[in-house]
Structure 1
Amino acid sequence: MSSATYVEPAESEPEIALVGGDVTEGDVRVGDTVRRPVGFNAPLVHALLRHLEVAGFAGAPRFLGIDAAGREVLTFVAGEVAGRPRPAWIADEARLASVGRLVRAYDDAAAGFVLPEGVRPFSGLTGLTEQPDMPPAPPYPAELVGHMDFTPDNIVFRDGEAAALIDFDLAKPVSRVDEVCNAMLFWAPLDDPVDADPLLQDVDAPRRCRILADAYGMSDTDRSRLVEVVVLRSRRAWFSMKQIAEAQGGGWARMWQEGAGDQIKRQEAWLERNGAAIETALTAP
């Protein structure tokens, strides 16, 4: 499927640039399709999107093939995305709960996906290696191929409900608690308020974590692991982000140059200070 040539319709459509996100550049809309540069994780992403289509998961674009310009072609997902500046509804708790339900629906659909022979996660991402001083990864096994990039730019809303996910470039095998941690990072948010969007600087982050966990239907075991996992992920993020920026350049390098490494350090310190409050919110009756 990933090598299929996309057959253009008889009538041509204009290309309309799409804006938003931090990394991918060159996305355009053409009629009811989106054209994107083929990413470093394309073999896995194309196979995953095909699986989601067969599984009947409606919350993801369909992969249609490669166009004559060498770009991947996806179905356009209609709806509302939180661009920049963020809309007022970014702090809405009803929308927050719908994010948790969508992540759960995706994870359940992805749980049956098996990597095709010869396909490896991030197979084109060179230079990402373990370093002697890199903190350990969480000790919990992968359960599914997760989306792992639940930024407000990557969730499409319809009628106030999270309805679909876009941009699967960071998909990889992870645990369910990893997926919920990733959603919380962006939507609680789990960050020093100085780095949060102004609309999220004064929210009750532990409460929002509980809303997400409840909407997802998070198990008691995973709730007890979440703070441990998010702290370990944050400690490792500085190393991995630096390597990706050096290996990939582009938007990754721009984010690093703009201070992503310093933000990660502030996030780590904030998590150390607030971890107990988050765990109490998640596990309280």
Structure 2
Amino acid sequence: MSTRHRPPVEARVYVPAPGEASDVEPVPAGDVTEGVVRVGGTIRRPHQPQSLAVAAYLDWLEDAGFEGAPRFLGRDAEGRDVLTFLAGECAGPVPEAWVQSEELLASVARLLRRLHTASAGFVPAAHPFPPRYTPPGAVSPEPAELVCHLDVTPQNVVVREGLAVGLVDFDLAGPATAFKDSFNTASHWAPLRDPADGWPGWEANDPFRRLRIFADAYGWTDAERHALPAFGIEAAALSYRRMEHNARVLGGGWARMWGEGVGGMIRRRGAWLEANADRFVDALTGR
């Protein structure tokens, strides 16, 4: 891996170049972070507790040659994190018809695999990621083996000419496992959810077929394919308790999502995965 000479992330200050564009364009709000704007060729985001850990991770990805992530440029005069803007198209809150492309789906899986390969070896020693809440008595299915994105939704994937080329919004990044991150991504892109919670216009899509396309493109092992239903059921139970905690303790976007019924959707997903466990394994392992 190459090593670039750059100031430490905590000392990096962004100074606009003379004549740099300063037009401000609002960016669609994410589920949790608000106040994100595009200024010229940069993205400005409110500084958060995990910002320095994310910045160090983005530096690592740059040195690893991964081109599908923004670069951290520093903090501006208002204290906001400044990142490079990745040109392309991202899905809206209700993913458009073009997001259903199976070619795009496979490219998302390949992009995620490249991210995980580039992430190997990164240890956030100087700026650890804030610990995730684990409910009392719960066993987290995500030991800290690899720093991952953990929020590869259609809204956070940059698409050009029908293929996934970049990832944005690393706010939820942190230590987990490649399988956790890839399962989470597949859950958003298949999608893996009770049909009652499906997006309008997606009714004709077969989530079992789409999951197989993703698994083959990413390269899930036979053991991972067999483990998916149980892993997904356990992950849904943990996600429900985390979302409930975050809504109560952190408020903001977490409370808004909880109030909109995300807890019920998570529980229905877990029940749907359990009811279709054999069908998922057959879809993933059948020849």
Name the structure 2 match of 1:231.
Answer: 233
State the distance in 1 between where 2:9 and 2:201 align: 40
**Shift of the alpha carbon at 1:261?**
0.9
State the distance in 2 between where 1:221 and 1:168 align: 29
Name the structure 1 match of 2:100.
Answer: 91
**Shift of the alpha carbon at 1:141?**
4.2
Asked if 1:130 corresponds to 2:135, the answer is yes
Gaps of 5+ in 2: 1-7
What per-residue deviation string (whole Å, max 9, x for no partner) do you get for residues 219-247 of structure 1? Answer: 22222222221111001111101111223
Name the structure 1 match of 2:5.
Answer: none
Asked if 1:194 corresponds to 2:196, the answer is yes
State the distance in 2 between where 1:199 and 1:92 align: 13
Amino acid at match of 2:151: D
State the distance in 2 between where 1:18 and 1:171 align: 20
Task: Determine which of 26, 36, 40 is the counterpart of 1:27.
Answer: 36
The alignment yields a C-alpha RMSD, in angstroms, of 1.6
State the distance in 2 between where 1:131 and 1:84 align: 33
Amino acid at match of 2:68: G
Alignment of 1:244-255 (within 5 A): 244-255=246-257
Amino acid at match of 1:107: H
What per-residue deviation string (whole Å, max 9, x for no partner) do you get for residues 60-115 of structure 1? Answer: 00000000101000000000101134211121111111111111011111112122
Name the structure 1 match of 2:166.
Answer: 164
Amino acid at match of 1:2: V
What per-residue deviation string (whole Å, max 9, x for no partner) do you get for residues 140-186 of structure 1? Answer: 74431111101111000011000000011111111221111111110
Task: Determine which of 264, 267, 273 is the counterpart of 2:266.
Answer: 264
Alignment of 1:28-107 (within 5 A): 28-107=37-116
State the distance in 1 between where 2:120 and 2:247 align: 30
State the distance in 1 between where 2:257 and 2:40 align: 31
Task: Determine which of 9, 26, 33 is the counterpart of 2:17.
Answer: 9
**Shift of the alpha carbon at 1:212?**
0.4
Name the structure 1 match of 2:120.
Answer: 111
State the distance in 1 between where 2:156 and 2:212 align: 22
Contact 1:62 1:74 in 2 (8 A): yes
Q: Which has the higher contact order (CA 8 A, sep 6+)?
A: 1
State the distance in 2 between where 1:141 and 1:249 align: 26
Amino acid at match of 2:130: F
Contact 1:146 1:179 in 2 (8 A): yes
Contact 2:90 2:155 in 1 (8 A): yes
**Shift of the alpha carbon at 1:271?**
0.9
Contact 1:64 1:75 in 2 (8 A): yes
Name the structure 1 match of 2:4.
Answer: none
Report the CA distance shift for 1:21/1:201 in structure 2 as closer, same or farther (over 3 A): farther
Name the structure 2 match of 1:217.
Answer: 219
State the distance in 2 between where 1:180 and 1:225 align: 13
State the distance in 2 between where 1:163 and 1:281 align: 27
State the distance in 1 between where 2:144 and 2:286 align: 27
**Shift of the alpha carbon at 1:40?**
3.0
Amino acid at match of 2:13: T
Query: Does 15-24 or 94-103 show the bigger shift?
Result: 15-24
Question: How many residues in Structure 1 have an aligned counterpart in Structure 2?
Answer: 278
Contact 2:29 2:36 in 1 (8 A): no
**Shift of the alpha carbon at 1:54?**
0.6
Amino acid at match of 2:67: A
Amino acid at match of 1:185: S
Task: Determine which of 276, 279, 283 is the counterpart of 1:277.
Answer: 279
Q: Percent identity between the aligned chains?
A: 46
Amino acid at match of 1:192: D
State the distance in 2 between where 1:154 and 1:71 align: 20
Alignment TM-score, normalising by the size of structure 1: 0.92
State the distance in 2 between where 1:147 and 1:252 align: 18
State the distance in 1 between where 2:249 and 2:50 align: 14
Report the CA distance shift for 1:164/1:130 in structure 2 as closer, same or farther (over 3 A): same
